Amino acid sequence: MTRHDDRSPSLWQEIINRGELGGNPVIFFENISSTNTVALEKGRNGAPAGTLVLADAQEGGRGRLGRAWVSPPGAGLYFSMITRPRLCPAELPRITLAVGLALCLALEKGLGITPEIKWPNDILLAGKKCGGILTEAAAIRADTALVVIGVGMNLTTPLALFPRELQPRVTSLHEQVKVLPDRGILLLAFVEEIAAMLFRLEQGEFPDILAGWRKRDATFGKTLSWLTLGGTIVTGISEGPDGHGQLQIRDREGHLHAVLSGDLSLKDGM
């Protein structure tokens, strides 16, 4: 993780003051509904690829499947990157997997920890969720789209702020790593890894990215249950994502199911 001179103002503050990070514009809000919502609006109005929407707090932070993302002031990282990747519509689901790997690489290199990923978008530490990715696409064309990549990471988020039933399954970086770097240093590391990963994706390196993802797959070989779009609960053993990034689950009868989306739960735990 890039070192920052302790005598200068925090990199977080510098990023906000400069309105720029690594050549990309940064639009900062003390408090916003959701950085993804704002980034989608800015993207539709022509904001350039690479633009970051960053917030100290969110009042309507959004997660997958319509869930809320707990976003108290100063306690987490909440940002959205506007991208316009040269990918066809069928390749867009790959972005979430690629970004998950990017976040893991940044945490491994910078903090020496070993995060895992729960398909498709949960970043886990010690088996508990500490981060998530919300990828949203608009203006989808044959060879590109407006794609907003939203990242939320619990840094010092008090667990008491989560609904009681979720508390045993969530964690924060601070719970796992006692001394955390400045928020700006973490942000820079995440943004650099995401940009590098998107470049690799556009270069056709998804098979390599998937191989890296599989090494960090938290649920491979475990028994999972998921709610199908038809409303039934199916249980089976995870065989990890296939070459398209869809999760493969083998049920008791030996049938292989490709999970597109929906909610997954581990038989014992997450």
What residues line the site for ligand BTN (CB under 6 A)? 34-36, 58, 61-64, 67, 69, 78-80, 121-122, 132-134, 150-152
**Residue 116 or residue 122: which is nearer to ligand BTN going by CB?**
122
Residue nearer to ligand BTN on the CB measure, 61 or 236: 61
How near is the Cβ of 38 to ligand BTN at its closest, in Å? Answer: 9
Nearest approach, Cβ of residue 259 and ligand BTN (Å):
16
Q: Measured from the CB of residue 65, what is the shortest distance to ligand BTN in angstroms? A: 7
- Which pairing describes strands 247-251 and 52-58: parallel, antiparallel, or unpaired? unpaired
Give the shortest CB-100-to-ligand BTN separation in angstroms.
Answer: 10
Nearest approach, Cβ of residue 8 and ligand BTN (Å): 27
**Which one, 12 or 69, has the nearer CB to ligand BTN?**
69
What is the amino acid identity at position 60?
A: G
The answer for residues whose C-beta is within 8 angstroms of residue 211's C-beta and 6 or more apart is: none
Residue recorded with tokens 């707990």 = 70
What's the N-to-C CA distance of the chain in angstroms?
29
User: Both tokens of residue 270?
Assistant: 């997450």
Integer CA distances (angstroms), 209 to 182, 194, 255, in order: 28, 12, 27
Kindly report the CA angle at 100 between 98 and 101, in degrees rounded to 5? 65
In angstroms, what is the minimal distance from the CB of 46 to ligand BTN? 20
* Cβ-closest position to ligand BTN: 132
For ligand BTN, the closer CB: 121 or 157:
121
Give the nearer residue to ligand BTN in terms of CB position, either 159 or 237.
Answer: 159
Closest approach of Cβ 136 to ligand BTN, in Å?
A: 9
Question: Three-state SS across 58-85?
Answer: ECCCECHHHCECCCCCCCEEEEEEEECC
Nearer to ligand BTN, 34 or 238 (CB): 34
Name all contacts of 236-243 with Cβ < 8 Å and 24+ positions apart.
238/119, 240/119, 240/214, 241/97, 241/119, 241/120, 241/210, 241/213, 241/214, 241/217, 243/207, 243/210
| CA nearest neighbour of 247 among 233, 261, 232 | 261
Q: How far is the CB of 133 from ligand BTN (least distance, A)?
A: 6
Please say which residue, 5 or 197, places its beta carbon nearer to ligand BTN.
Answer: 197
Choose between 67 and 169: whose C-beta lies nearer to ligand BTN: 67
Per the CB < 8 A criterion, the answer to whether 1 and 191 are in contact is no
The Cα 252–Cα 32 span in angstroms is: 46
The burial class, CB within 10 Å (0-12 / 13-18 / 19+), for 31 is exposed
